[in-house]
Structure 1
Amino acid sequence: MNLKKIGNIDDMITYIESGDIFKIDDVLNYAHGCNCSGAMGKGIAVQFKKKFPEMYKTYRNLCVEKKFNIGDVYIHNYGIGYVFNLGTQVSWRTNAELQAIEQSLEKMLLFASEHKIKKIALPKIGSGLGGLKWQDVKVVLEQVASQYSGITLFIVENFEDR
């Protein structure tokens, strides 16, 4: 994978220009932005749905029951790690919201800190299908991550299956 670290928060975020979040060495915890309507039909969400079918069933039920909302995190323990479903947009038809990204990241990183999780891989959430500018999302990611030393986020900016 093509690793590219940034300067001021070197230990907290590693940007990877291209790759697959599920193929990063020594990383067993994954996060992605989700809508709150229960749909995982496009983008990396399809990979999550296939790789973690039990997670998807519970996520879908939580959405149907209106128990997964924007800014929430649904945390799924799959046995050897966790999947963090970040409630970043209301539905697949709406754009992600920066405030929801911030809130869900805070909750994820607090859980990770409390459970001594050191590494989490995720795509560039909120942009792409989420509709936000990546530079705006990066600012939020960096601000939130800077409050949680000891946890490294591996952010794959472009999917590439190798």
Structure 2
Amino acid sequence: MDYVIFGRSKKMQMVRYIEFGNIFKINGVVNYAHGCNCAGAMGKGIAVEFKARFPKMYNEYKALCKSGKFTLGSVFEYCYGEGYVFNLGTQVSWTTRANLEAVGEAIEKMVSIAATLKVDKIALPKIGAGLGGLDWNDVKVLIERAAARYPELDLFVVENFRDE
């Protein structure tokens, strides 16, 4: 979607909410993000899919957690060849709820890193509001606030998994 300001065309920033879908099956999207705990475990939810699809990334993530370098609010970006995976530090462990402040910090860092890497599309689930237990409306505000500063970036947020 484009609009014109003072005779110049600018791309409007987009956060697209997809009610049902699979982040890995969105046409034209090769970059992904998801919330992670800081304990090195990817044993539930969409994290299991990330671990299966990107085993080298999982091993690096686990090592970062073990060394204490992946903490709340951190972003571990992993280049898998075709694109990037952004692992966002949103909860201390798999037994704790996600931390809203950490989710916001990680999303802010992710969009900044994505801009530096010239990433223009990222697909993500409703970070922190599934197994993380946060209120989805609170998280949406953080996503939209961060995305507003990067009009060249489109975020595709799948609210409910359905393998389509």
Q: Normalising to structure 1: TM-score of the pair?
A: 0.92
Q: Distance in 2 between matches of 1:97 and 1:12?
A: 25
For structure 1, list consecutive stretches of 5 or more residues without a partner in the other structure: 1-9
Matches within 5 A, 1:85-100: 85-100=87-102
The alpha-carbon deviation at position 12 of structure 1 amounts to: 2.0
The alpha-carbon deviation at position 158 of structure 1 amounts to: 0.3
Choose which of 153, 156, 159 in structure 2 pairs with 1:157.
159
- 1:95-153, CA deviations, whole angstroms, 9 ceiling, x for partnerless residues? 11111111111111111111211000000001110010101111111111111111000
Q: Distance in 2 between matches of 1:124 and 1:61?
A: 26
Structure 2 residue 14 is matched with structure 1 residue 12: yes
Residue 8 of structure 2: aligned partner: none
Q: Normalising to structure 2: TM-score of the pair?
A: 0.91
Residue 132 of structure 2: aligned partner: 130
Identity rate, percent: 59
Aligned-pair RMSD on alpha carbons? 0.9
- Pairs aligned (count): 153
Residue 36 of structure 2: aligned partner: 34
- 1:42-100, CA deviations, whole angstroms, 9 ceiling, x for partnerless residues? 00000000000000000001111111000000110000100000000111111111111
Q: Distance in 2 between matches of 1:124 and 1:142?
A: 12
Runs (4 or more) in structure 1 with deviation over 6 Å come to none
Matches within 5 A, 1:38-53: 38-53=40-55
Structure 1 or 2, whichever has the larger Rg, is 2
